[in-house]
Amino acid sequence: MTRVTRDAYAEAFRTVTGRPLIRLPQMAGRSESEIFFDALALNGVDVSAVGPSEQLLAPFGSELATALAARRDQLRTRGQAMPGARDALAAVAKLDGVVQTVLTGTSKPNALLKLRTFGLDGFFDFGIGGYGSESYPKGALVRVARQRAAERYEFTADEHACVYVADSVRDVEAARMGGSGSAAVATGRSTTAKLRAAGADVVLADLTDADLVAAEVDRLTHP
């Protein structure tokens, strides 16, 4: 899936800036807007010649969504859901009073596309999520998503009502800044040691033990 996403980034970048995407910034744990602005600098784009960088972001987001949608078959054949993801989501969904959503650096259309491609979209309420197309740092997005959930489901948005399941140090830091619990999964570039050092409340090797994932989410949301 990473290669397909990179190809879509390259196509959208060239369409919007007129320049090839030769160097792609680090993507893990970052928002699409962060990646785009870094890509402008890394690839020597003279924004004075193409317009203010902030005004390029919306067209880039639209072009990226189009480029990814055109590659849906490639996403399906070259990518895969994380092992155990479906069972883990199903187990957490059975917890009393738990609502699952998405907090990601990806835009809402792209997040929905990727999850729908692997049949995982039915587990989430996308209306209360936080997305990379919003002008908030991830730590603030945690609070925004929690407040949206509180308003929609009429519960108190206290700090212990939310747990962020993610796989990068940046996401663990965002959870802490947003006042959320964090369950870090060591399936990305961040090692178990780094995730623990970043302050993760629990570190899981992967998602293959659905009962364990659900038990940790339950523990962190009901301290």
* CA 117 – CA 96 distance, rounded (Å): 28
Q: Are residues 97 and 182 in the same domain?
A: yes
| Domain end (from 57, 77, 97) | 77
Burial track 196-215 (b if 16+ CB lie within 10 A, e otherwise): bebebbbbbeebebbebbbe
Q: Are residues 211 and 120 in the same domain?
A: yes
| Domain end (from 56, 77, 98) | 77
- Six-digit token string for 104: 């990601």
* CA 37 – CA 56 distance, rounded (Å): 9
Q: CA angle at residue 7 from 3 to 9, to 5 degrees?
A: 115
* Residues 23-81 pLDDT 10s: 888 877 677 888 888 899 899 887 776 666 678 888 999 999 999 999 999 998 988 89
How deeply is 23 buried, as exposed, middle or buried, from its count of CB atoms within 10 A (0-12, 13-18, 19+)?
exposed
* CA 117 – CA 28 distance, rounded (Å): 20
Q: Are residues 101 and 156 in the same domain?
A: yes
* Residues 122-157 pLDDT 10s: 999 999 999 988 877 888 889 999 899 989 988 765
User: Total structural domains in the chain?
Assistant: 2
SS3 for 165?
strand
Q: In the chain, where does DSSP find H-type helix? A: 2-17, 32-42, 47-50, 53-69, 72-78, 85-93, 108-117, 138-153, 169-177, 192-197, 210-221
- Six-digit token string for 87: 């069972």
Q: Are residues 116 and 100 in the same domain?
A: yes
Portion of the chain with pLDDT greater than 90, in percent: 61
* Residues 156-185 pLDDT 10s: 656 558 999 999 999 999 999 999 999 999
Of residues 97, 71, 76, the one with CA closest to residue 162: 97
The parent domain of residue 25 ranges over: 2-77
| Domain end (from 53, 77, 101) | 77
